[in-house]
Amino acid sequence: MMKYAAKIKNPLRRKLLAWYRHHQRSLPWRNTNDPYCIWISEIMLQQTRVDTVIPYYERFIKSFPDVRTLANAPVQDVLKIWENLGYYSRARNIHAASRIITDRCGGRIPDKSEEIKTLPGIGDYTAGAILSIAYGLAVPAVDGNVRRILSRVFAIRKSMDDPRGQKKLLDLAAALVPSRHAGDFNQALMDLGATIC
């Protein structure tokens, strides 16, 4: 499978990036490469539809425009802005992480995988999304949409829900991510999975 990935990666990258340039969804968090905005959007998008997230994202960023403002806000204010978005542990994790970022990282969201994944609520996918989109690092961001695309491209029929299967998909995605335009490539996979596949 990895040999096949090596063989198709350049044509797949070119075609997917060209498709994305013409068909990418217009979303407010795509108008910036600010790691804070990307982080907030990625956390909000977990288990929530894009059209539901947009007004919440806009209100959240207006209320808490940067990580220091968020860290200094009472958690009750954060939960109030989050109200009705559900999965409130996400809001609590964002607030706790903002305090860690402010206290330990000087207000800068980490740009290293091992460091960013120590923050509450940030796992492999969210770390990959932030690092590739905000910092341009060639790391994969494998969510449900990307798993679906990779399973189809590589004709994987068995469930990829177990840890070994997820590791295999992560390795495949890592082999495909280009060193340039990594964030666009990851978002292109997500958009393709969300809108077509």
Between CA 46 and CA 58 the distance in angstroms is 16
Q: Which of 42, 58, 83, 114 is catalytic?
A: 42
Task: Output the CA torsion sign for 182, 183, 185, 186.
Answer: positive
Task: Output the CA torsion sign for 84, 110, 121, 153.
Answer: positive
Whether 83 is a known active-site residue: answer no
Check: CB of residue 169 under 8 Å from CB of residue 147: yes
Between CA 26 and CA 18 the distance in angstroms is 16
Active site residues: 42
